[in-house]
Amino acid sequence: MTLLKTVIGWLSKKVYQSCVYGDDTEFYSYKKVLSEMDSTISSTVELASFNTASKGFMGECGLRGGYVELVNLCPAVMKHAHMLFSTRKCPPVVGQIALDLMADPPKPGDPSFPTFSEKRQMEPDMLYCLHLLEETGLHVRPGCKYGQRKDSHHIRLFVGTQENIMEDALQRLKTFHMRFMKEFS
């Protein structure tokens, strides 16, 4: 039993569960595997599963928001874990919003926010990023947010995904860019 606990581990990082590539491959969570084992094991092995909005769907980074799920944790340890997790004074609100959207993505018919570009002044690269997100679902970061040369108007993107998804994303980016430049040039 001790060896099995060591092999299964007690810490499970599920951060890249959406980044499983290859034909006929899928993500298997430790919790699912544990739950399918004999009850003498599944009810006694302690497991802490972590997930975050800081990495994931397309390898994006930057948002600070995450959660931990504790399974079969010793009640005395659970008491301390609860105290630790509930006493944080300044949770990362933007990260919590991203985590909520990750867990429960928007669906057709949900209310949305009005286009920022029509309501307030903003940097051109921010305007570009917002339009790109609204029109294509692609998320990139405005270069103006990284302290780079003023008026350089560029975007920052990171893509770590399958080739076919990358091709689709680049095609959507190209189509959007051509239309955007025609409209705003």
What are all long-range contacts of 128-133, with beta carbons under 8 Å and residues at least 24 apart?
A: 128/153, 128/155, 128/180, 129/155, 131/176, 131/180, 132/173, 132/176, 132/180
Structure tokens at 56: 């994931």
Between 93 and 38, whose confidence is greater?
A: 38
Q: How far apart are CA 183 and CA 135, in angstroms?
A: 14
Model confidence at 116, pLDDT cuts 50, 70, 90, reads: very low
Q: Is the pLDDT of residue 50 over 70?
A: yes
Q: How far is CA 11 from CA 4, 14, 55, 74, 85, in A?
A: 14, 10, 17, 14, 16
Domain boundaries, the chain: 2-103, 116-184
pLDDT at 151: 66
**The model's pTM:** 0.44
Residue with tokens 């997100």: 133
Q: Is the pLDDT of residue 69 over 90?
A: no
pLDDT at 56: 57
Model confidence at 155, pLDDT cuts 50, 70, 90, reads: confident
Nearest to 134 by CA among 181, 95, 172, 184: 172
Q: Is 3 left (phi over 0), alpha (psi -120 to 50) or beta?
A: alpha
Amino acid identity, residue 89? Answer: K
In CATH, the number for domain 2-103 is: 3.40.640.10
Structure tokens at 141: 């970061």
Model confidence at 39, pLDDT cuts 50, 70, 90, reads: very high
Q: Is the pLDDT of residue 177 over 70?
A: yes
Q: Is the pLDDT of residue 154 over 50?
A: yes
Between 34 and 10, whose confidence is greater?
A: 34
Mean pLDDT value of segment 89-115: 61
Query: How high is the mean pLDDT of the chain?
Result: 73
Q: Regarding the domain with residue range 116-184, which homologous superfamily does it belong to in the CATH classification?
A: Aspartate Aminotransferase, domain 1 (3.90.1150.10)
pLDDT at 176: 92
pLDDT at 7: 44
pLDDT at 4: 47
